[in-house]
Amino acid sequence: MSLIKLRAVWTTILVLVLLCMCLVVFSGMMIRNPSVQAYLFGQLGQTISYDIKGTGLSLYFKGGLGFSASDIVAKSRLRDERIESSRVNIVLNLIELFKGRVVPLRIDIIKPRIELPTLKAFGYTKEGGGTVLRQMIEAGLSGLKSASIKDACLVVKGLPYGFKGLDFDLYSDTTDLTRLRLKVNGGFSYNTETVMFSLAGVITEGLEKISAKAELSTGRIPLNLLPCPAFLPFSNGSAKVDVMLNARLGGPVSAQGKILGENAHFSVIEHGRTKQYDLSSFELAFDASYFEQVLEISSAELKGPEFSAIAHSRVDFKDIKNPHISINVKSPFMPLETFKRVFPTSVVPSLVEYDIFPICSGGEARLKDLSLNGALEQFRHFCLPENGDLLSMKVEWKDMVVNKDGKGLPFEKVSGDVVIEKQGLLLTISNAVFGTSIVKGASLKINPLCGDHSYNITCSGIFELDDLKKQTELSFLPKAAGETLKDFKALSGKMEGQVEVALGPGFVRPRIIKGQFSFKECLIEHNNIVLPLLLDEADMRISNQEMGWFQGRGKWGKSEFQASGETSDRWKDCKFKIASRAQADELLGLFFKTGKSTLSSRDTVPCEVEIERINDHWAFKGEARIKDIVMDNGTMFLDPPGENDRAVFELDLYPGKEVRLKNLLLDLDGAGVRLNGSFDLTNKNDLWLSVSTEGLSLTGLGVRTERGVVKPKGLLTCNADLRTFFKEPGKTTINGNASGRDISFDLKGLASPVTDCNFKLELSGQEMLIRSLHMQVGQSPIDIKGRLKGWDFIKGDLTADAESLNFGDFIQKGSDSGQKTSDETLLSEDTQETETPTVEDQEASEKTLLGRSEFQFSLNAKRGKCKKFDLGPLHAKCVLRSGDLYVDSAEAQLEHGALSVKGYVKKRQGPERINIISNIKMTAQPAGDLLKSLGTDGKALEGTLNMESSLSSKGADTKGLIAGLKGNASLGMENGCITSSFKTVFKILDVLNIMNIFKTRLPDLTKKGLSFETIEAHADIKDGVIHTDDFSIKGPILNAVVQGDVDLTRKWEDLIFWAQTLETLDTVISWVPIIGYILTEKENAPKGVVIYPVQIRGDWSNPEVKMLPSVMKIGGGVINIFKRLLETPGRIFKKISGVKDGLAKAVGPLSENDSRADQPTAFKEYLD
């Protein structure tokens, strides 16, 4: 190139440079002009829809031509957004600038403060415009080469969080001009907490839309800083987020990533219940998108210690105040304890948390499905019927243990599931084992879960009844079922079956819907069935609530039976049959628990019963063979001889209303007793009964009495109607008649049988008229007439007339056929005593018929006989009042005298329960007959006697009567004899050696006894002690006086027997070896008289008889020595010997045993 041309080029360039320099200088001068600045800010603001103001505007040449401004304030023209920045650098597009438009190529904002009204400023709005960031992106894609924000602070109005230290870089991809690269770093702040994050990605302009893709990473975010809903509050923990974001302008925003957390503590609060969680670590991988105000999490997998769960959800924010939420969660099998720890029990009914979970342990469980679908407000009103589809759930478990630590047997190897849907719960068990029982299937359905629940339970399996008995305390067992099982005292055997049961609100009122049961070798003991029930085999089916049937065989107690039947209309109608061979003794024992039954059976009793129910009417019809039934009450034995004897009955029951006995026939060999009647169940008080029999033979009844001397026979006829009121038995009425003909029988206690008994009774209301009652007791015919009235308290008059009355026909003799001697009877210790009634006896007596009676009884007999005594006439008047017997008068003429008695015997215990007063007078009474009437052989005493006595006594019993006996008696006999049967007298004679003295007369004494000319006696009785000072015997051989006491209570006697022999002194001295001191009359003593004192002392069955110091007749001054000591014997001497008052007395020395302090009166007087 030539030098001229080169110069021309450089000149041109220099000119241009100078021109540019001038232009720059001119621009610099122009830009300082406020009008130019306003124009530039206006053009820039129009580009990004912001009103911009600033100061310090100057040219900026870094990276191109542009300008720099300080103290910039930009306000959005579309919404309440504001940006304040200390400096902004803008590089302009020169081409657009020459065209008159200010279009930036690059913008740098230094330390801005960005204020946003809401978070939606980051999103897309249909009305256009947007935030400065969005405008910068749109501008960049239409020509902006780069943009940056350094150390920015972003604030969202009304919220406590924002961004600070934010660095934002947006620049063009040099390899693809349609893409911008984006980098963001900074901190997210909440109150005083700051979390650092970074975001890097690409923004691409497509054919139609702008799209973006970025990766977000954060530091540790405190979980309590997250904006969680009120039902999911976090109180502790942190998490790190790594997310890949994808967005399209005007389209969806998606995110895929992970959240790694640790030490998380949060709660799930719903329905007023809280479930708390503590997770040491967790990982949440998710894939989510947001579009058109819908947040959708297509997948989310949560992993934690020993558990994991997969979920997806959708939240529609179109109604921001009431968003629609849809969540679905499931998990794999995990240990049950882990499952219970992580399962959100607060979002499901409390039954799961408080009733199901606590009783389950071991095994594994999984959440097969948990779905929540509804608006937020609906969840707050879960129990409304229209919200039935809000919640559905299915949990499966396997190899679980139920009720491990509870009462009863645990359920093991339990598998099944629980489903919640449409506000109902269905718990299903596919298999389980408890004890040796196997559950093949079971379910519990609860519907609805809100409000009053109704329950439906099904169960099938093979069960040991003993295992069922042990489950009475199960917490989840219906209360009624538990109480029913408790009532069984014993259960054993095997049952196989299936059942469906419905229960009402409160888990009560169980009702079987359908079922099928089979029993084998089952033993059942229950209070209501009284006896053990053994089922060899039994089957029961309930096809539905309407129909059912059963059959079985076994034993009830010892009674074999077979039963079958069917039901319909929910058991309102049923009909079944029972055939049995009843063990009568066992069954009858049920009605006689306090004592032995009077009925028994020699063999089992065949019987058949049909039972039918129609609505509320029960009909019973049956028949029993009773040929082996016998009755034995101790005095009478009933054994019907008929081979075809039977009992036929028909009975109707109207529960709560009436029991109606249509017919009860006791068919006894062609004759029978027929009964019918009714009982009012409304008040359980009114009973009506009709009894009829015509010519019922006692022979046909097979009646035998205990004695069996006379075989009972005769005929009974009865036609009567009875009406009684259990609450007021006193109002009982009987109308009808009864009669007996040619009746004969024995009665225990009667010496003779009753024959020729004929009676006629008329019953009217509360009165019974004994029109005639004639019977023969042995040889004693008796006629009784009278009238009785009342049932609660009987009153009346009875009169008995007898032509001839033999008391021997009524008073049974003892079993001892031999008669006792005088000593054995009168002095025996075997005297029978009446027992004092106990309080229980008295109370029982007041409840008996006699205890509730008051009637008069009169007895008249023209002639009578009591043992050897002839009586007649005999008259007695008595009153029986409330169990107390009062004898107003009883008088009888004796063959040799008269007897009168009166008194009373009361039932109430007391010291004067019995009171008797008697008077007896006898003249020329043979002594032997009298002794025989006292139970002796009558041989001890021969002769006749005259006697008068007046005796009385009061006491509680026989012993008390003896102790209280008082009165006096006088006795006289002439020309009699005391025989050898009276052993005590001859024992005295042995002691005196009388036999040696009278050895010439010994044969006469031995054979004939001790003869006497007279016996005179007078005795006083007081407090059961007989005392006499005046009992004398005068005889040809011996005179005697007896002095002393006989204690009837102690059975003790203490007597002095003063014996005077009628021999000379010389004879006595030579014959008698035992001689004491001698009393003699010195003057006027033709012959000496010897008196021998003999002591009889001790128990009267075997008294001690011994000789006391002897006394004889003497003279001289010795008499004065004993006169002072033996004043009383002086009277005795005078009575026996006829001695004069001046008789001297002397007493020999006493032995040591004779000086005891407890000697009775007679002996003390002798010693004195």
User: What confidence score (pLDDT) does residue 844 get?
Assistant: 52
In whole angstroms, give the CA distance from residue 392 to residue 369.
8
pLDDT at 553 over 90: yes
Q: Are 410 and 473 in contact (CB under 8 A)?
A: no
User: What confidence score (pLDDT) does residue 210 get?
Assistant: 82
User: What confidence score (pLDDT) does residue 831 get?
Assistant: 46
User: What confidence score (pLDDT) does residue 1132 get?
Assistant: 37
Residue that the structure tokens 């032509």 belong to:
803
At position 937, the amino acid (one-letter code) is D
Stretch among 200-209, 258-267, 355-364 having the lowest mean pLDDT: 200-209
Q: Are 437 and 462 in contact (CB under 8 A)?
A: yes
Q: pLDDT tens, 171-206?
A: 888 787 778 888 999 998 877 788 899 999 998 877
In whole angstroms, give the CA distance from residue 327 to residue 296.
10
Residue that the structure tokens 């299903």 belong to:
428
Stretch among 594-598, 817-821, 946-950 having the lowest mean pLDDT: 817-821
User: What confidence score (pLDDT) does residue 570 get?
Assistant: 65
In whole angstroms, give the CA distance from residue 985 to residue 1096.
10
pLDDT at 289 over 80: yes
Per-residue tokens: 50: 């912001």
User: What confidence score (pLDDT) does residue 431 get?
Assistant: 92
Question: Cα 360 from chain centroid?
Answer: 30
pLDDT at 301 over 60: yes
Q: pLDDT tens, 113-169?
A: 888 876 544 443 444 444 555 555 554 445 567 888 899 998 887 777 788 889 988
Q: pLDDT tens, 490-511?
A: 899 999 999 998 888 877 777 8
Residue that the structure tokens 């954060």 belong to:
218
581-590 long-range CB contacts below 8 Å, 24 or more apart?
Answer: 581/605, 581/606, 581/607, 582/606, 582/607, 582/624, 583/557, 583/558, 583/559, 584/628, 584/629, 586/531, 586/557, 586/558, 586/559, 587/557, 587/559, 590/530, 590/531
* Paired strand residues for 154: 114, 163
Q: Are 279 and 341 in contact (CB under 8 A)?
A: no
pLDDT at 1033 over 90: no
Q: pLDDT tens, 24-40?
A: 555 555 566 677 667 77
Name the E strands within 583-644.
599-601, 605-614, 617-625, 629-632, 636-638
User: What confidence score (pLDDT) does residue 1009 get?
Assistant: 79
Q: Are 116 and 156 in contact (CB under 8 A)?
A: yes
Q: Which helix (H) or strand (E) holds 437?
A: strand 437-447
* Paired strand residues for 509: none
pLDDT at 383 over 80: no
Q: pLDDT tens, 986-1015?
A: 787 777 765 454 444 544 565 677 888 889
Residue that the structure tokens 């003999």 belong to:
1094
In whole angstroms, give the CA distance from residue 50 to residue 1010.
169
Stretch among 223-227, 1049-1053, 1132-1136 having the lowest mean pLDDT: 1132-1136
In the DSSP assignment, the letter for residue 390 is S
Higher pLDDT, 379 or 652: 652
User: What confidence score (pLDDT) does residue 812 get?
Assistant: 66
User: What confidence score (pLDDT) does residue 1137 get?
Assistant: 39
pLDDT at 846 over 50: yes
Over the chain, what is the mean pLDDT?
A: 79
Average pLDDT over residues 1078-1093: 47
In whole angstroms, give the CA distance from residue 517 to residue 501.
14
Provide the CB-side half-sphere exposure for 182 (13 A, CA): 21
Stretch among 327-331, 414-418, 1086-1090, 1124-1128 having the lowest mean pLDDT: 1124-1128
Phi, psi of 831 (to 5 degrees): -60, 125
What is the DSSP track for 712-729?
A: -EEEEEEEEEEEEETT-G
Name the E strands within 1072-1128.
1090-1099, 1104-1107, 1111-1112
pLDDT at 463 over 70: yes
In sequence order, which residues have a C-beta less than 8 Å from that of residue 231 and are 6 or more positions away? 268, 269, 270
Q: Are 1114 and 1081 in contact (CB under 8 A)?
A: yes
pLDDT-derived band of residue 798, with 50, 70 and 90 as boundaries?
very high
Q: How many residues does the chain have?
A: 1168
Q: How many Cβ atoms sit within 10 Å of the Cβ of residue 230?
A: 6
Rounded (10°) CA dihedral 454, 460, 466, 470: -40
pLDDT-derived band of residue 917, with 50, 70 and 90 as boundaries?
very high
pLDDT-derived band of residue 1086, with 50, 70 and 90 as boundaries?
very low
pLDDT-derived band of residue 1138, with 50, 70 and 90 as boundaries?
very low
Q: pLDDT tens, 864-899?
A: 887 777 888 999 999 988 888 899 999 988 888 898
Higher pLDDT, 197 or 830: 197
Q: How many Cβ atoms sit within 10 Å of the Cβ of residue 870?
A: 13
pLDDT-derived band of residue 52, with 50, 70 and 90 as boundaries?
confident
Q: pLDDT tens, 339-348?
A: 988 888 887 7
Domain boundaries, the chain: 32-215, 965-1168
Strands 794-806 and 853-866 come out as: parallel
Average pLDDT over residues 235-241: 91
pLDDT at 1166 over 60: no
Name the E strands within 965-1009.
966-978
Largest Cα–Cα distance in the chain?
A: 232
In whole angstroms, give the CA distance from residue 1095 to residue 209.
155
User: What confidence score (pLDDT) does residue 829 get?
Assistant: 42
Nearest to 503 by CA among 447, 549, 544: 447
User: What confidence score (pLDDT) does residue 773 get?
Assistant: 93
pLDDT at 452 over 50: yes
Q: pLDDT tens, 744-797?
A: 888 776 788 889 999 999 999 989 999 999 999 988 999 999 999 887 778 899
Nearest to 497 by CA among 552, 438, 456: 438
Distances (CA, A) of 880 to 761, 807, 810, 886: 21, 21, 20, 6
Q: Are 1094 and 1060 in contact (CB under 8 A)?
A: no
